[in-house]
Amino acid sequence: MNVRVRHDAIVRILRRNGTSTIDALAEEVGASRRTVLRDISALRDAGYVIHSDVGRGGGLQLDPQSVQTSARLTVPEIFALLISVAAMRAAGNLPFSKLADAGLAKIEKALPSDKVKDLRNFLDCLHVGPLSPLQDLSDMGRMTPDLLPAFERAFLGAHFIRFDYRDAKGRKTQREVEPQAMLILPPLWYLVGWDPTRSDFRHFRMDRISQPKAMADTHFRRRHVPFEEDVCPYSELQS
Amino acid sequence: MNVRVRHDAIVRILRRNGTSTIDALAEEVGASRRTVLRDISALRDAGYVIHSDVGRGGGLQLDPQSVQTSARLTVPEIFALLISVAAMRAAGNLPFSKLADAGLAKIEKALPSDKVKDLRNFLDCLHVGPLSPLQDLSDMGRMTPDLLPAFERAFLGAHFIRFDYRDAKGRKTQREVEPQAMLILPPLWYLVGWDPTRSDFRHFRMDRISQPKAMADTHFRRRHVPFEEDVCPYSELQS
DNA sequence: AAAAAGGTGCCAAAATATGGCACCATACGT
DNA sequence: ACGTATGGTGCCATATTTTGGCACCTTTTT
Q: What percentage of chain B carries pLDDT values higher than 70?
A: 57
Span A65-118, pLDDT tens digits: 676 766 667 666 776 677 667 666 655 545 556 666 777 777 766 666 566 666
CA dihedral B16, B17, B19, B20 (to 10 degrees): -110
pLDDT band at residue B197, thresholds of 50, 70 and 90? Answer: confident
Q: Is the ipTM above a cut-off of 0.85?
A: no
User: In sequence order, what E strands does chain B have?
Assistant: 19-20, 50-53, 59-62, 68-74, 126-128, 160-166, 172-185, 188-195, 200-205, 209-215
Best residue in B69, B122, B144 for a mutation probing chain A (most A CBs within 10 Å): B69
Q: What percentage of chain B carries pLDDT values higher than 90?
A: 21
Mean predicted lDDT score pLDDT of chain B: 74
Q: Which residue of A has its CA nearest to B152?
A: A65
B108 CA → D7 C1’, Å: 33
Beta strands at B19-20 and B59-62: parallel, antiparallel or unpaired: antiparallel
Boundary of a domain, candidates A66, A83, A102 = A66
Span A154-190, pLDDT tens digits: 877 778 999 998 887 888 999 999 888 776 665 566 7
pLDDT band at residue A3, thresholds of 50, 70 and 90? Answer: confident
For residues A193 and A206, the answer to whether their CB atoms sit within 8 Å is: no
A102 and A180 within one domain: no
What is the distance between the alpha carbons of residues B154 and B220, in angstroms, rounded to a whole number? 10
A230 and A151 within one domain: yes
State the DSSP code for A145: G
For residues A131 and B186, the answer to whether their CB atoms sit within 8 Å is: yes
Burial class (CB in 10 A: 0-12, 13-18, 19+), B231: exposed
> Does A134 reside within a domain?
no
> Does A179 reside within a domain?
yes
Q: Does the distance separating the beta carbons of B148 and A92 come in below 8 Å?
A: no
Name the residue closest to C18, CA to C1': A35
Q: Which of residues 44-63 of A touch strand C (CB under 7 A)?
A: 54-58
Amino acid identity, position B70: S
pLDDT band at residue B233, thresholds of 50, 70 and 90? Answer: very low
Residue B212 has pLDDT above 60, yes or no: yes
B95 and B15 within one domain: no
B117 and B45 within one domain: no
Average the pLDDT over each of A195-209, B89-103, B148-162 and give the range with the smallest value: B89-103
Q: What is the mean pLDDT of residues B40-47?
A: 90
* Domain range for A151: 145-238
Shortest CA distance to B97 belongs to which of A172, A239, A43, A143?
A143
B193 and B157 within one domain: yes
Q: Does the distance separating the beta carbons of A112 and B67 come in below 8 Å?
A: yes
For residues B156 and B114, the answer to whether their CB atoms sit within 8 Å is: no
pLDDT band at residue B119, thresholds of 50, 70 and 90? Answer: low
For residues A202 and A180, the answer to whether their CB atoms sit within 8 Å is: no
* Greater model confidence, B131 or B32: B32
B56 CA → C1 C1’, Å: 15
> Does B140 reside within a domain?
no
Report the 10 Å Cβ neighbour count for A8: 14
The pLDDT of residue B205 is 80
Q: What is the mean pLDDT of residues B38-62?
A: 91
A14 and A84 within one domain: no
What is the distance between the alpha carbons of residues B101 and B87, in angstroms, rounded to a whole number? 12
pLDDT band at residue A203, thresholds of 50, 70 and 90? Answer: confident
Non-local (6+) Cβ contacts of B123 within 8 A are: B82, B83, B86
Which domain CATH number covers B153? 2.30.30
A119 and A156 within one domain: no
What is the distance between the alpha carbons of residues A89 and B170, in angstroms, rounded to a whole number? 27
Which residues of chain A make contact with B186, given a CB cutoff of 8 A? 91-92, 94, 131, 186
> Does A131 reside within a domain?
no
Structurally, how many domains does chain B consist of?
A: 3
What is the distance between the alpha carbons of residues B24 and B171, in angstroms, rounded to a whole number? 72
> Does A129 reside within a domain?
no
Q: Does the distance separating the beta carbons of B65 and A78 come in below 8 Å?
A: no
> Does A136 reside within a domain?
no
Span B157-195, pLDDT tens digits: 778 999 998 887 888 999 999 888 776 665 566 788 888
How many Å from the N-terminal Cα to the C-terminal Cα in chain B?
62
For residues A184 and A129, the answer to whether their CB atoms sit within 8 Å is: yes
Q: Is the CB of A35 under 7 A from strand C?
A: yes
- Report the DSSP beta bridge partners of residue B72: A70
Which domain CATH number covers B7? 1.10.10.10
Non-local (6+) Cβ contacts of A153 within 8 A are: A159, A214, A216
A51 and A8 within one domain: yes
A54 and A12 within one domain: yes
The pLDDT of residue B110 is 65
B40 CA → D28 C1’, Å: 21
Best residue in B93, B94, B97 for a mutation probing chain A (most A CBs within 10 Å): B94
DSSP assignments along B160-223, one per residue: EEEEEEE-TT--EEEEEEEEEEEEEETTEEEEEEEETTTTEEEEEEGGGEEEEEEETT------
Amino acid identity, position A204: F
Distance between alpha carbon A14 and the CA centroid of its chain, in Å? 31
Q: Which of A48-52, A153-157, B151-155 has the highest mean pLDDT?
A: A48-52
What is the distance between the alpha carbons of residues A239 and A134, in angstroms, rounded to a whole number? 14
- Residues of chain B numbered 207-236 and touching chain A (CB < 8 Å): 207
Residue B27 has pLDDT above 90, yes or no: yes
A24 and A79 within one domain: no
> Does A132 reside within a domain?
no
- Report the DSSP beta bridge partners of residue B203: B192
Span A123-156, pLDDT tens digits: 666 655 444 333 333 333 334 556 667 777 787 7
> Does B183 reside within a domain?
yes
Beta strands at B50-53 and A160-166: parallel, antiparallel or unpaired: unpaired
State the number of CA atoms in the 13 A half-sphere of B157 facing the CB: 16
What is the distance between the alpha carbons of residues B206 and B195, in angstroms, rounded to a whole number? 16
Q: Which of A1-5, A46-50, A147-151, B205-209 has the highest mean pLDDT?
A: A46-50
